[in-house]
Copies of this chain bind each other. A is one copy, B any other.
């Protein structure tokens, strides 16, 4: 079907044929400069000329070569975003915000996934650096490995030197002298509020399940959890915290294991909603009712939370907004650096949303 009647020539090399601006210029009978100007519209071109150019463009199906443009011009009109996994709702919603805002600001969006591998993350930042994106947005918690931090800091500096910017979305600063922008949310505060709510419902022995170890997000949530306990004068039992991972699978399997022991608890604080879904299944399979027998809460408030039965009480995090703010902040014209530093940090709020997975502790 792709055959025309030309006698099959020798196997063509992968010819990147492509209509160029020169073709358009020739076809319209003007110079390439004029074509460029007629298209970008940043320089006066006579109406008649512009029209001829547009006709030629349409006739030839010309579209500019973004790479040539990026090379000659100053900006690539592209932002890069690095997330763990495209299909994980936590990241997907942030990515949606990024994509929407980028698109609203006329930018394309280069997306890459680390699959939780921090070495890969470093490599991806370099890949994005090669692309000369206007910004690179790093999403989600980070490892607290010092070597890794140093390497990332180096990249932040390189990006800055290139006129780009590294924005940390939902992840802690790389240090006071590292040129980055940050949009964060109150992880510790959300965990505090949720824990306090559980306590107010009479719970004292609260199991904390999930979140990778040595990970900023886990650390912050756990800190809020512990602070709330301390604030109410409740002794902290290390046997009740079970770090591990953020997935549904981890929630399920770890809860199964715990259920096989005789650990005593009346509520479970899952490190995020996915973990909560796994925990819920384990509880369900054990014949334990939520919230009658055990209360359960999550974190993030992804749509899934509202589909679970019982509907999950959780901490709402404005994921999409975070994505939007990240690109807004990244693209904010920090050119007029009026000494008074334009704010390089945005913090969005979290709040708990009460649904049906928590019940007051009945006196036993």
Residues of A at under 8 Å CB distance from B?
Answer: 1-3, 8, 11, 14-18, 61, 63-71, 74, 76, 85-87, 89, 92-93, 95-96, 99-100, 103, 108-113, 126-127, 129-132, 154, 158, 160-163, 176-177, 179, 248, 277, 303-304, 307-309, 320, 335-337, 339, 341, 344
A95→B92 CA distance, assembly (Å): 10
Of B8, B103, B112, B277, which one neighbours A113 at CB under 8 angstroms? Answer: B103
> Is the pair B277, A130 in contact by a Cβ cutoff of 8 Å?
no
A-B contact pairs, 13 of them (CB 8 A): A2-B179, A8-B339, A11-B337, A14-B163, A67-B131, A69-B130, A86-B86, A87-B92, A103-B113, A109-B111, A109-B112, A110-B110, A308-B309
When the two chains form their complex, are residues B99 and A86 in contact, meaning their CB atoms are under 8 A apart?
yes
The one of B130, B154, B161, B179 in contact with A17, judged by C-beta atoms closer than 8 angstroms, is: B161
The 3 A-B pairs of least Cβ separation, nearest first, read A67-B70, A309-B309, A67-B67
Closest to A125 in B: B63
> Are B162 and A335 in touch, CB under 8 angstroms?
no
When distances are taken between beta carbons in the complex, the residues of chain B under 8 Å from A63 are 126, 129-130, 158
A293–chain B nearest beta-carbon distance, Å:
17
Residue pair A67, B61 in contact (C-beta under 8 Å): no
Distance A312 CA – B303 CA, assembled complex (angstroms):
17
A85→B74 contact, CB < 8 A: no
- A95 to chain B: closest CB distance in Å? 5
Whether the Cβ atoms of B76 and A85 lie closer than 8 Å is: no
Q: Using A65-B71, A110-B111 as known contacts, list a sample of 6 further A-B pairs with CB atoms less than 8 Å apart, ordered by residue number in A.
A: A2-B160, A2-B341, A67-B67, A99-B111, A100-B113, A277-B307
B162 and A18: CB pair below 8 A?
Answer: yes
The CA-CA distance from A169 to B177 in the complex, in Å, is 46
Q: How far, in angstroms, from A76 to B162 measured CA to CA in the complex?
A: 21
Instruction: List B contacts of A15 (CB < 8 A).
Output: 163
Provide the residues of chain B in CB contact with A161, threshold 8 Å.
17-18
CA distance A308 to B99 in the complex (A): 29
A177 CB to nearest chain B CB (Å): 5
Are A87 and B95 touching (Cβ within 8 A)?
Answer: yes
Q: A1-B341, A307-B304, A308-B307 are in contact. Are A130 and B100 (CB under 8 A)?
A: no
> Which of B71, B126, B177, B335 touches A67 (beta carbons < 8 Å)?
B71
Which of chain B's residues have a CB closer than 8 A to the CB of A160?
2
Q: Which of B87, B129, B158, B163 contacts A16 (CB 8 A)?
A: B163
Pick from B8, B108, B131: contact of A127, CB below 8 A. Answer: B108
